[in-house]
Structure formats: C-alpha cells, structure tokens
Amino acid sequence: MKNRGMTIAALVLIALLGLLYWSNRHKRDESSLASTTPAEAAPKILTLNEADITKIELKKKSGDQITITKDSAGAWKITMPQSLPVDQSVVSGMLSTLSSLNSDRLVEEKATNLSRYGLSDAAVMIVIADKNNSTHKLLIGDDTPTANGAYANVEGDPRVFTIASFTKNSVDKTLDDLRDKRLITYEPDKITRVELSLKGAQLEFGRDKDQWQIVKPKPMRADATKVDDLVRKLTDAKMEVAAKTDTGKDKTKPEDNKDKTKPEDAFATGSLVTIARVTSDAGTQQLEVRKAKDDYYAKSSVTQGVHKVSADLGQALDKKWEDFLDKKLFAFGFNDPAKIEVHDGAKSYFLTKGGDDWWDGGGKKLDRTGSQALVDQLRDLQATDFAESGFGASVIDVTVTSSDGKRMERVLISKGDKNPLAKREGEATLYVLESGAIDNLQKLLSELKPDAGGK
C-alpha cells in the first residue's frame, strides 16, 4: 500500500515537471519574436530634418492611400484621395514623430525573413519625401505578441525594430484623422462680426476692439461673456466622425446602423435652428444648423456634405436674441466708480471716491460700510426681463462716473405697472427690475452717514 502511494506521487511529480517544461518552452516560443537583443538596445529608426519634409504618403494594406503635401507657403494639404484641408496639429505631431523616430528595441540586426514580422506585406507603408527628392519608406507590420507595440523596418535597412503602440498611432492615420474637421476655420479673436438668423429675428453682433455690441435688430449692449462663448463654440465646432477600429472599420455593429438616418436626410427634414455667418478680414463663412429629433446637423460653407455636430453647439445656437442682451444696468464691473450722483425726488446725494474712502458733496468722509453697500447694490442691478413700453415718470436718477472719468452712465428708474423699469440714457431698451429694487436703493441712500472718525 505504501509503495502504491509512492508510485502515484512519483507519477504526479513527473506530470507537473512535464507541464512546467511545456509552459516554459511555450513562453520562449511566444517571446522569440519579441526580441533577440537586450532590451536596452533601442536605436533611432529615422533622423530627418522636419523642415525639409515636403510630402508624406500612407499606403495601407487595406488599399487606402492618403497623400499630404506641403505647399510653397509651408501649409500642408491633403491631395489624395481628394483635395482637403488638414488638421495642422495632427500633421505637426506626425512630422515630429517621423523626423525623430525612436524604436522600443532592436529585434534583428540583419533580418532575412521579413514575413515573420508581417513586414513583407506591411499593414502600413509611409513614404517620406524631402525637398531634395530623397525618400524614406517606413514599413509597419504585425503587432508584437504582447500587443503593446508593432514591428517596423525602413526599406533598404536590414534591421527590424519594435515601436510603441502610441508611436504607431501617431503616424498611422486615417483620412478622418488627418482632415481639418472644423466647420468654421477662423480664429476667435479674428472674428469681427457675427450674424444669426434666430427665431423671429435677425441678430447681428459687431466687435469694436474687444467690445461686442448688438447692431441688429437695434443698437444695444451685448453680454460680452455670452457672445465670446458663442464665438468659441462656433470656432470649436467640428464634424463628428465614426470611431474606428485598428482595421479602420466602423466600430458600430451592422444592426446598430440598420435604422440610422443619414445625416443628409436628417438635415433635409430637420427644423432650422439658425444660420450663423461669421466675418473676419479673410471673408465670411456660414454654418447652417438643423435639429432632427434630439440630434443636430450642420452644413458648412468651408467643407462639403452634412455633418452631425455636438448637442453643445446646437443648444448654444438655439436661443432668442434677448438671451444675448447685457442685463447689467451699469458697466463699471469690479472696479469701483469715481463718482456717484443720485436724485431721489427732492433729495440729492453726491459721492466722490478718494483713495479707499468715500466723501459727500460737502467734503465730509462717509461711513465706508454704507457707501460700499450702495456701490455694490448699483453694481448688481440687472434686468429680470425686458419691456417695450410702460416707462413713466422717473423716481430715481443715478449717474455713475468710472474708468478714470472716461465712462459716464446715467440710469433713470420708474415704478412701472408691476415691476420697476429702468432705462439707460441714450438707449431705448427698458430693463425690468426686481420688485424691491427702488425700496432697496432708497433704504441704502437713507442710511448713508458720516464716518464716525472722519472730518
């Protein structure tokens, strides 16, 4: 019985040793392609002068071919399979990688069987040409067994290398990767006019230096923050493209696309959100946006076709013209004014700023807390809505001088039928204020008092 147990144990040990041997042998076979040289041997694959590169051709095993060419002015453009503007930042990254292409490691010093690495019929061939008509052909083959890189070789060089996956991804680009996907190509700070066809109104903004103004439907103050945000969203607008797998195919399953509406059809049947026109010194570009169900689609004057765009862009344009009005009554912002003059019926108040203190019309220093509370209240006065009529006799007349005396703003406030109404001198717009706006101002004015220690 004892001998039988020892025999079974011996057989189990032999089986385990055999399994261990097979496992180690299998791992060596799998890793034999990974490297035949020390890990630290990672020479450069290409060293080129980036400024000299004039053309790059990508030839895919799938049959796709893309050519990008630099013109005499130094700008890059897609010339094959069709003429298209490029995303300059993507091309810049591609050039930077190719001109100083690093390997992860040297696999073979003198490879005799490139098919072993998928390089005899490479997944990607990248042909780099320079201004001297010299060319370099970079071949990218199979992924490494660990799937964190790929094999690479330069035609005419017997060496085979591995490159990191991120290096491969930075140079192996699709047409969608390379094309300029912007729907408006002007820089935000170069845009001087924006025109919007909104619900029931034509809205136009004009920029004088850094200040936006509403020009149409009538001259009014614009909320600069909202207009800047609108311009940013317009210039950030990009066509949405389908995510691609490593093989270049659409990741979505056929059944996912079965009932999907084509962008052209959705655009044709969708409701108009807006037609936006932006103007710079270079000309005018147009973007028409329509909504179909919960999605937004756009047609741009700078590129062909209809493209799905982000809901963020659609919602930014799906506004009423009143949404862009400056609701603040005074424009002195975070800087305290230099002078404040208020007439409340028969009572008048004159405040002048001197250093950190406020002084009344008689030259007496005022209590700082009360004075600052009045300034803050004037700064915060803003419309809850806008009205076309209803302004009666003014109850309070406020004049504020700021910006070192360069800006003078006068605001008249009346009681109105329901809520107080205010209007700025020289403007037709009526601002609807909160119900207690007049009472709050009168209370703060009545509480102004001389500083306890002042003269």
**In this predicted model, what pLDDT tens digit does every residue of 170-198 receive, in sequence order?**
999 999 999 999 999 999 999 999 999 87
Instruction: Report the Cα 204 to chain-centroid distance in Å.
Output: 23
Contact 133, 115 (CB under 8 A): no
User: What's the pLDDT score for residue 15?
Assistant: 58
Is pLDDT of 376 > 80? yes
Q: Percentage of residues in the chain with pLDDT exceeding 90?
A: 68
Whole-prediction pTM: 0.71
Is pLDDT of 444 > 90? yes
Tell me what the pLDDT averaged over the chain comes to.
87
Specify the 3-state DSSP secondary structure of 125: strand
Domain boundary among 301, 324, 347: 324
User: What's the pLDDT score for residue 161?
Assistant: 96
Q: Is residue 34 assigned to a domain?
A: no
The residues, ordered by sequence, that sit 6+ positions from 10 with a Cβ below 8 Å of its Cβ are none
User: What's the pLDDT score for residue 28?
Assistant: 40
Q: Is the dihedral of CA 23, 24, 25, 30 positive or negative?
A: positive
Q: Is residue 453 assigned to a domain?
A: no
User: What's the pLDDT score for residue 365?
Assistant: 94
pLDDT band with cut points at 50, 70 and 90 for residue 10: low
Same domain as 316, residue 347: no
**Which has the closest alpha carbon to 136: 165, 108, 98?**
98
Q: Is residue 31 assigned to a domain?
A: no
Q: Is residue 169 assigned to a domain?
A: yes
Is pLDDT of 25 > 90? no
Same domain as 172, residue 215: no
Q: Indicate the number of domains in the chain.
A: 3
Domain range for 204 is: 188-251+260-324
pLDDT band with cut points at 50, 70 and 90 for residue 145: very high
H/E element holding 79?
strand 76-80
Contact 208, 261 (CB under 8 A): no
User: What's the pLDDT score for residue 42?
Assistant: 80
Q: Is residue 398 assigned to a domain?
A: yes
Same domain as 119, residue 50: yes
Same domain as 423, residue 368: yes
The larger pLDDT score, comparing residue 311 to residue 256, is at: 311
User: What's the pLDDT score for residue 22?
Assistant: 45
User: What's the pLDDT score for residue 31?
Assistant: 47
Same domain as 264, residue 173: no
User: What's the pLDDT score for residue 9?
Assistant: 57
Q: What is the DSSP letter of 382?
A: B
Structure tokens at 263: 């962008």
**Which has the closest alpha carbon to 403: 337, 349, 325, 313?**
337
Q: Percentage of residues in the chain with pLDDT exceeding 70?
A: 86
User: What's the pLDDT score for residue 92?
Assistant: 94
Amino acid (1-letter code) at residue 188:
P
Domain boundary among 155, 178, 201: 178
Amino acid (1-letter code) at residue 47:
T
Is pLDDT of 39 > 50? no
Q: Is residue 410 assigned to a domain?
A: yes
Domain boundary among 284, 299, 324: 324
Same domain as 197, residue 172: no
User: What is the arithmetic mean of pLDDT over 272-298?
Assistant: 94
Same domain as 57, residue 162: yes
User: What is the arithmetic mean of pLDDT over 361-366?
Assistant: 91
User: What is the arithmetic mean of pLDDT over 386-407?
Assistant: 92
Is pLDDT of 3 > 80? no
Same domain as 192, residue 170: no
The larger pLDDT score, comparing residue 26 to residue 98, is at: 98
Same domain as 103, residue 71: yes
Q: Is residue 271 assigned to a domain?
A: yes
Same domain as 212, residue 151: no
Q: Tell me the backbone φ, ψ of residue 116, rounded to 5 degrees.
A: -60, -25
Same domain as 289, residue 209: yes
User: What is the arithmetic mean of pLDDT over 91-112?
Assistant: 94
Is pLDDT of 206 > 50? yes
Beta-ladder partners of 339 = 352, 401
Same domain as 430, residue 398: yes
User: What's the pLDDT score for residue 240?
Assistant: 82
Query: Residue 108: which CATH number?
Result: 2.60.40
**Which has the closest alpha carbon to 106: 163, 48, 47, 155?**
163
Q: Is residue 22 assigned to a domain?
A: no
Task: Tally Cβ neighbours within 10 Å of residue 23.
Answer: 10
The larger pLDDT score, comparing residue 320 to residue 17, is at: 320
